[in-house]
Amino acid sequence: MPEGPQIIFLKEQLEPFIEQEILAAKGTAKNIPYSDLRGKVLTEIKTFGKELLLCFPAFTLRLHLMLFGKYAINHQSKRELQLGLEFVTGEVNFYACDCRLIHESLDKVYDWSTDVLHPTFDSDKALEKLFRQPKRLICDALLDQKILAGVGNGIKNEILFRRHIHPASLVGQIPEADLIYLVRDCASFSAEYLSWKQEGTEKESWQVYRQNTCPRDQVPLRKEKIGKSGRSCYYCEKCQILYLSNS
């Protein structure tokens, strides 16, 4: 699933289309008025967590790539096209994604301060929300988009490894200082991940996510679906501490 940094990277690739009008729109996404899109000028592109927001004067097109979404810029994939937009200088095509129109002001729809890559990200507010859920598993809490928008499975696994925290730890049992660092890591690691995308070094940069061996201990990593989110956790039993209550 594309995480916040990947969506910002996508936004950067689409920026040349800003101030261009849509020449043609097609696809199978429901509730998209394809013929009405023709002639509309893309004024701005924003992101919120894992959502891409294409802004037009009277509405916003919101795209969420979900678990298996893909996009293609200036070429086409053989999959079923959800939404294709043709501009003067090129085209963008989206597949297996969720497309919606937003007519309200985005400031009313989104709380930007929950987005870990937004300049207004409020780590204290995220921390307060975590403190209110002491019995939740940290691997689930980090993926909660209402607390930390943009954090996905890769970011979750890497920051837990860096802080030596086992993914099945309970939020309320993790030392407060570690929890504070973990929330800050969501923002700083996401920025680092974005730079991997920009520099094309993503594949060799992951330490544990989709890896086999702990780089600290040279022992095999565990891969397990933990928590209600059912997403894979990659962790080292030797160097990541499991914080559980005794009761």
Site residues (vs Zn ion, CB under 5 A): 214, 216-217, 236, 238-239
Q: Please, which residue, 16 or 215, has the CB nearer to Zn ion?
A: 215
DSSP string, 129-164: HHHT-TTSBHHHHTT-TTTSBT--HHHHHHHHHHTT
Q: Closest distance between Zn ion and the C-beta of residue 239, in Å? A: 3
Mode of pairing for the β-strands spanning 98-102 and 81-86: unpaired
Name residue 51's beta-bridge partners. 48, 64
Of 96 and 239, the one with the shorter C-beta distance to Zn ion is 239
Distance CA 185, CA 179 (A): 10
CA atoms within 13 A on the CB side of 43: 7
- Pick 211 or 232: Cβ nearer Zn ion: 211
CB of 241 to Zn ion, least distance (A): 11
Q: Kindly tell me which of 40 and 222 has the beta carbon lying closer to Zn ion.
A: 222
Shortest Å distance, C-beta 138 to Zn ion: 17
Residues 6+ apart with CB under 8 A from 102: 53, 59, 60, 61, 62, 109
Compute φ and ψ for 231, nearest 5 degrees: -90, 155
Secondary structure (3-state) at 54: strand
State in angstroms the smallest separation of the CB of 38 from Zn ion.
Answer: 55
Shortest distance (Å) from residue 162 CB to Zn ion? 11
